Structure 1
Amino acid sequence: MDFFNQTGKMAIGSRLRMLTDKITNDAELIHKMYGIDIRAKWFPVFFVLSHGEAKTITAIAKEIGHSHPSVSNIVKEMVARGIAKETKDKADG
């Protein structure tokens, strides 16, 4: 923690990143505790898709405020785990 003592307020971004990582890890522990097989970062995509409507990566990204590459990676992870199924869309390749 000497780094943070030396950098003070200038390290706010790093401190917030560490806090975000801690909260995400805690959320995943809570999911495991309740037997929910979902990563915390997947939740926004999972929620959007839980309504049963097929959506493009672009539409999901806009709805949840994430980047297209981020949503694409999340969907790939969810598909690999059998939580979502991917369909080909000409708009998203």
Structure 2
Amino acid sequence: MNYYQSLGYLVLGSRLKRLSELFLSEVNRTYRSEGIVFETTWFPIFYLLSENNSLSIQELCEEIEVSHPAASQLVTNLKGKGLVMTTTSSEDARKQLVKLTPEGKKLLKKLLPMWESIRETMEEVAGGKPASDAILNELTTLEAAFKSADIAARVKAKINKTNKSVTNV
């Protein structure tokens, strides 16, 4: 057991971040090795647009659970690369609709088989489909638990309880 593993939940965020960085680095390396210019940060929006003709920025925010400024920045970045375009909604002039450009659709054709290969590889690395599914299910459970729990308040309550116990001794 290494140092990080021995610290358990005290370094959960650090371990998840390290794992995420390793995964994203490997995916970026794969894109580069195939001569594809694509950033892993673009994936959520690009994938959503691959499944939908167009989406509003607000819809993108809700689907990928980011702020409006964060989604707007990603869309602006993709627009700058010529991969997406925005149009004004015919139903609501305040609403900007985002969709893939012809260049974005061309890139998508290259990305789809890569994404499938990435998914298959990750399932294998995680120990096969059942093990992989179990890991993802546990991650979903953990995400839901963290979202529903006010961790800072719970930690503070435990600190206060400990401080009261020490004071009463």
- Given residue 39 of structure 1, which amino acid in structure 2 is its aligned partner? E
Equivalenced residue count is: 89
Q: CA deviation at 1:17?
A: 0.8
Q: Alpha-carbon deviations, 1:10-44, whole Å to 9, x = none?
A: 01111111111111111111111122221112112
> Are residue 72 (structure 1) and residue 72 (structure 2) matched?
yes
TM-score by length of structure 2 reads 0.45
In 2: Cα distance, 1:25 partner to 1:68 partner = 26
In 2: Cα distance, 1:49 partner to 1:24 partner = 21
Q: Alpha-carbon deviations, 1:33-76, whole Å to 9, x = none?
A: 12222111211211222256221111112223333333222111
Which structure: greater helix fraction? 2
TM-score by length of structure 1 reads 0.75
Larger RCO: 1 or 2 (CA < 8 Å, sep 6+): 1
- Which has the greater radius of gyration? 2
In 2: Cα distance, 1:32 partner to 1:66 partner = 27
Q: Which runs of 5+ in 1 are unaligned?
A: none
Percent of matched pairs sharing the same residue: 26
